[in-house]
Structure 1
Amino acid sequence: MDRRSFIAWGGAAGLSAVGSAAGFARWQEIPATVQYPGRDEGHYLRDRRALPKPSHVVETDVLILGSGVGGLSAAWKLNREGHRDFLMIDGPQPYGNAAGARFGDLACPTGAHYLPLPSPESTHVRQILADLGIIERDSFGEKPYYDERCILHGPEERLLFNGKWQDGFLPTEGVPAHELLEHKRFFAQVEELRRTHGADGRRVFVFPTVHSSLDPEWQALDRITLKDWLEREGYRSPTLHWYLNYCCRDDYGTRYDKVSAWAGLHYYCSRWGQAANAGNGAWLTWPGGLAPLAEAMATHSGVKRMAGTAVSLRRTQAGIEALCFTLEGGVPQTFVARARKAICAIPVYVAARVVEDIGAYGFDPKRHIPAYAPWMVANFLMKDFPREREGAPLSWDNVAYQEPGLGYVVSTHQDISVRPPEKTVFTAYVALSDRTPEEARKWLMKAGADELVELASVDLKTAYGWRFAPCVERVDITLRGHAMAAPLPGFRSNEGLKALREADGPILFAHADLSGFSVFEEAAWWGIRAAERAMA
Structure 2
Amino acid sequence: MELTRRKVLQLGLAAGAGMALGGCKLLQLGLNIKGYWPGMLEGHLLRGNTQLPAPSVERKVGVAILGGGAAGLFAAWKLVRGGRKDVLLVDGPEFGGNCAAGALGGLAHPRGAHYLPLPSLESRHVRELLADMGVIERDAFTAKPYFDERVLVHAPEERLWVDGRWQEGLLPRTGMDADELKQQQRFLDFVAGLRDKTGSDGRRVFAIPLVLSSTDPQWRALDQLSFAQWLKREGYTAPGLLWYLDYACRDDYGAGSAQTSAWAGLHYFASRGGHAANAEEGAILTWPDGINPLVRHLAAALQPAQRLAGMAVQVTDAGKAVHVDVLNVLSRKVTRLIADQVICAMPLHVAAHVVSDLAGLGFDLHRHGLPHAAWQVSNFLIDAFPQEPVEHPLAWDNVVYGSNSLGYVNSTHQLIRQYKPESSVFTAYHAFANEDPRAVRARLEHASAEALYEVAAQDLQRVYGWRWRQHVQQVEITVRGHAMSTPAPGFLGNPGLAALRALDGRIRFAHADLSGLSVFEEASWWGNQAAEALL
Shared fold per TM-score greater than 0.5:
yes
Distance 1:300 1:263 in 2: 34
Distance 2:28 2:122 in 1: 48
Deviations, residues 337-381 of structure 1 (Å, cap 9, x unaligned): 121000000001001111001111111111001000000000101
Tell me the residue number matched to 2:378: 378
Q: Secondary structure at the match of 2:412?
A: helix
Distance 1:146 1:463 in 2: 34
**Residue 404 of structure 1: CA displacement?**
2.2
Tell me the residue number matched to 2:210: 209
For structure 1, which segment, 291-300 or 40-49, has the greater mean C-alpha deviation from structure 2 after superposition? 291-300
Q: Unaligned 5+ residue runs, structure 1?
A: 1-24
For structure 1, which segment, 491-500 or 384-393, has the greater mean C-alpha deviation from structure 2 after superposition? 384-393
TM-score by length of 2: 0.93
**Residue 388 of structure 1: CA displacement?**
2.7
Distance 2:298 2:286 in 1: 15
**Residue 391 of structure 1: CA displacement?**
5.2
Distance 1:300 1:439 in 2: 41
Q: For residue 314 of structure 1, what is the amino acid of its counterpart?
A: T
1:461 aligns with 2:429: no
> In proportion to residue count, which structure has more helix?
1
Distance 2:470 2:67 in 1: 40
Distance 1:138 1:390 in 2: 38
Tell me the residue number matched to 2:321: 319
Does the 8 A contact of 1:387 with 1:467 survive in 2? no
Does the 8 A contact of 1:26 with 1:470 survive in 2? no
Provide closer, same or farther for how the CA distance between residues 27 and 229 of structure 1 changes in structure 2, counting only shifts above 3 A. farther
Tell me the residue number matched to 1:357: 357
Q: Secondary structure at the match of 2:488?
A: coil
Distance 2:480 2:47 in 1: 16
Q: For residue 220 of structure 1, what is the amino acid of its counterpart?
A: A
Q: Secondary structure at the match of 1:473?
A: strand
Tell me the residue number matched to 1:487: 487
Q: Taking every aligned residue pair, what percent have the same amino acid on both sides?
A: 50
Q: For residue 317 of structure 1, what is the amino acid of its counterpart?
A: G
**Residue 326 of structure 1: CA displacement?**
1.6
1:431 aligns with 2:438: no
**Residue 270 of structure 1: CA displacement?**
0.4
**Residue 97 of structure 1: CA displacement?**
0.5
Q: How does 1:236-251 map to 2 (within 5 A)?
A: 236-251=237-252
1:57 aligns with 2:62: no
Deviations, residues 405-442 of structure 1 (Å, cap 9, x unaligned): 10000100001022321110000001011421111111
Tell me the residue number matched to 1:185: 186
Tell me the residue number matched to 2:308: 306
**RMSD, aligned CA:** 1.4
Q: Unaligned 5+ residue runs, structure 2?
A: 1-25
Q: How does 1:51-130 map to 2 (within 5 A)?
A: 51-130=52-131
Deviations, residues 247-267 of structure 1 (Å, cap 9, x unaligned): 000000000011000001000
Tell me the residue number matched to 2:20: none
Tell me the residue number matched to 1:10: none
Does the 8 A contact of 1:154 with 1:395 survive in 2? yes
Q: How does 1:196-275 map to 2 (within 5 A)?
A: 196-275=197-276
Q: Secondary structure at the match of 1:324?
A: strand
Q: For residue 249 of structure 1, what is the amino acid of its counterpart?
A: R
Does the 8 A contact of 1:193 with 1:204 survive in 2? yes
Provide closer, same or farther for how the CA distance between residues 440 and 403 of structure 1 changes in structure 2, counting only shifts above 3 A. farther
1:524 aligns with 2:524: yes
**Residue 28 of structure 1: CA displacement?**
3.6
Does the 8 A contact of 1:76 with 1:300 survive in 2? yes
Distance 1:293 1:311 in 2: 27
Q: Secondary structure at the match of 2:356?
A: coil
Q: Secondary structure at the match of 1:340?
A: strand
Does the 8 A contact of 2:104 with 2:474 survive in 1? no
Deviations, residues 271-320 of structure 1 (Å, cap 9, x unaligned): 02110111111000000011111101111355721110011101123321
Provide closer, same or farther for how the CA distance between residues 165 and 66 of structure 1 changes in structure 2, counting only shifts above 3 A. same
Deviations, residues 430-482 of structure 1 (Å, cap 9, x unaligned): 10114211111111011111110011111010011111000000100000000
Does the 8 A contact of 1:164 with 1:391 survive in 2? no
Distance 1:426 1:368 in 2: 38
Tell me the residue number matched to 2:422: 422
Distance 1:398 1:493 in 2: 36
Provide closer, same or farther for how the CA distance between residues 301 and 151 of structure 1 changes in structure 2, counting only shifts above 3 A. farther
Q: How does 1:439-450 map to 2 (within 5 A)?
A: 439-450=439-450
Tell me the residue number matched to 1:366: 366
Distance 1:411 1:496 in 2: 39
Deviations, residues 175-225 of structure 1 (Å, cap 9, x unaligned): 111211111111110011112111111110001111111111101000001
Distance 2:183 2:285 in 1: 29
Distance 1:149 1:27 in 2: 40
Q: Secondary structure at the match of 2:108?
A: strand
Q: For residue 319 of structure 2, what is the amino acid of its counterpart?
A: Q
Q: Secondary structure at the match of 1:59?
A: strand
**Residue 55 of structure 1: CA displacement?**
2.1
Q: For residue 457 of structure 2, what is the amino acid of its counterpart?
A: S
Tell me the residue number matched to 2:19: none
Tell me the residue number matched to 2:411: 411
Corresponding residue pairs, total: 509
Tell me the residue number matched to 1:471: 471
Q: How does 1:99-178 map to 2 (within 5 A)?
A: 99-178=100-179
Q: For residue 500 of structure 2, what is the amino acid of its counterpart?
A: L
Does the 8 A contact of 2:432 with 2:440 survive in 1? yes
Does the 8 A contact of 2:259 with 2:434 survive in 1? no
**Residue 58 of structure 1: CA displacement?**
2.2
Deviations, residues 474-527 of structure 1 (Å, cap 9, x unaligned): 100000000000100000000001101111111000000000010111111100
Distance 1:256 1:155 in 2: 28
Q: For residue 307 of structure 1, what is the amino acid of its counterpart?
A: A
Q: Secondary structure at the match of 2:334?
A: strand
Q: Secondary structure at the match of 1:219?
A: helix
Deviations, residues 70-128 of structure 1 (Å, cap 9, x unaligned): 00110121122111210100000001010000124210000000000011121111111
Q: For residue 226 of structure 2, what is the amino acid of its counterpart?
A: T
Does the 8 A contact of 2:105 with 2:381 survive in 1? no
Provide closer, same or farther for how the CA distance between residues 163 and 390 of structure 1 changes in structure 2, counting only shifts above 3 A. farther
Q: For residue 520 of structure 2, what is the amino acid of its counterpart?
A: F
Tell me the residue number matched to 1:295: 296
